[in-house]
Amino acid sequence: MDDCIFCRIAKKDIGAKIVYEDDNVIGFDDISPQAPVHVIIISKKHIVSVDFIDESDADIMTSLMFSFKKIAEIKGIGNNGYRIVSNHKERAGQSVFHLHFHLLGGRDMKWPPG
Ligand code: 5GP
Ligand code: ZN
């Protein structure tokens, strides 16, 4: 989708600091980091959110899930712990409507989140 910022990053139309890529997903540094490590992991395919995943996306979801520990290792936070979150719809604070997960680390995390 041409008007989707994350599709444009996936197509490399817009620059991003890519830290991980495979056939199905890309991980890149968040433009407005909320922790010393803040990586956004997206599906290359435009999927609006978790509500829109279907059975044919199983390979994509597998790639997303396996990407987390790889990215944590690349960023050097695999041993100390990190958080994976996905904001879903407006009330949770989703601002980009293309499936993505935040991987946050490099500092202590509070619970519950705000
Ligand atoms: P959401 O608010 O949907 O949960 O997360 C969207 C995230 O994408 C935000 O943390 C925001 O800072 C990040 N973001 C939005 N636009 C861009 C961009 O153009 N480049 C990068 N690297 N991150 C972006
Ligand atoms: Zn998109």
Residue 82 pLDDT level (bands cut at 50, 70, 90):
very high
Q: b/e for 27-54, b at 16 or more Cβ within 10 A? A: bbebeeeebebbbbbbbbeebebeeebe
Q: Is 94 in the pocket of ligand 1 (CB under 6 A)?
A: yes
Strand arrangement of the beta sheet that strand 18-21 belongs to: 18-21, 25-29, 37-43, 100-105, 82-85
Q: What is the pLDDT of residue 19?
A: 98
Q: What is the pLDDT of residue 1?
A: 83
In which residue are the tokens 């968040």 written? Answer: 30
Domain 5-105 has CATH 3.40.50.300: no
Residue 78 pLDDT level (bands cut at 50, 70, 90):
very high
Across the range 102-109, mean pLDDT stands at 97
Q: What are phi and psi of 4, to 5 degrees?
A: -105, 120
Which residues have a beta carbon within 5 Å of ligand 2, which is an ion?
1, 4, 6-7, 46, 98
Q: What is the pLDDT of residue 2?
A: 85
Report domain extents, the chain: 5-105
Note the pLDDT tens digit of each residue in 23-73.
Answer: 999 999 999 999 999 999 999 999 999 999 999 999 999 999 999 999 999
Across the range 61-90, mean pLDDT stands at 97
Taking the CA of 101 as reference, the closest ligand is 1
User: How many CB atoms are closer than 10 A to CB 62?
Assistant: 12
| Mean of the per-residue pLDDT values of the chain | 97
